[in-house]
A and B are shown apart, each in its own frame.
Chain A
Amino acid sequence: MLKSVHVALTLAISAGLAPFAATVAAETVNPAGEKLYKTACIACHSTGVANAPKVGNKDAWAPLIAKGMDSMMAIALKGKGAMPPRGASSADDATLKAAVEYMVYASR
């Protein structure tokens, strides 16, 4: 119990979206997603390097989110433009999906 509260708190602080993050944590968040984001994806997606959709930028993410998770996962797996396959990480599919979910939640 204590642990999950801690996770929720960390998410809330890092995402700067307290009410929303708490909801997510209560549901199905895979902490590996946030971890991968902060390890690797953040290099481009925090500032929008090479036109990467910035995490937290609703307008940039809306069309991607509209196309659905399968479409976003296809980009995450195969890469697109300056985005390397798997974001140049060695993460497995489940972790990648969790990272995409993390970015999506933080960008809605």
Chain B
Amino acid sequence: MEIIMSIVAGVLFAAGLYNLLQKQLLRIVVGTALLSHGAHLFILTMGKLKEGAPPILDYDISEYTDPLPQALILTSIVISFGLTSLLLVLTYRAAQENDTDNMENLRGNHDE
């Protein structure tokens, strides 16, 4: 199963990157969101998949899944959510101010 999950994560990375290399601002943000999905799945797969019960302690269970990657992913989800929403508002504002959402037109000044 880990191999399949690795492939899924790889596909998420690839699709995320492809979107990241687009011209349209919105699709770049989509790309970052896909990339973070890929990363989360990656972290989860790197720990062992399915070794026991959910990590909520109970008297009759001795085998639990690894809680540490879950904690890391939880942190990461929240951070990437904050980042994605920031990027979205930035996209919105940039497109509004410059009247375009084409990255090729947003190149900055020539006399920099």
A and B associate in one complex = no
B residues within 8 Å of A by Cβ?
A: none
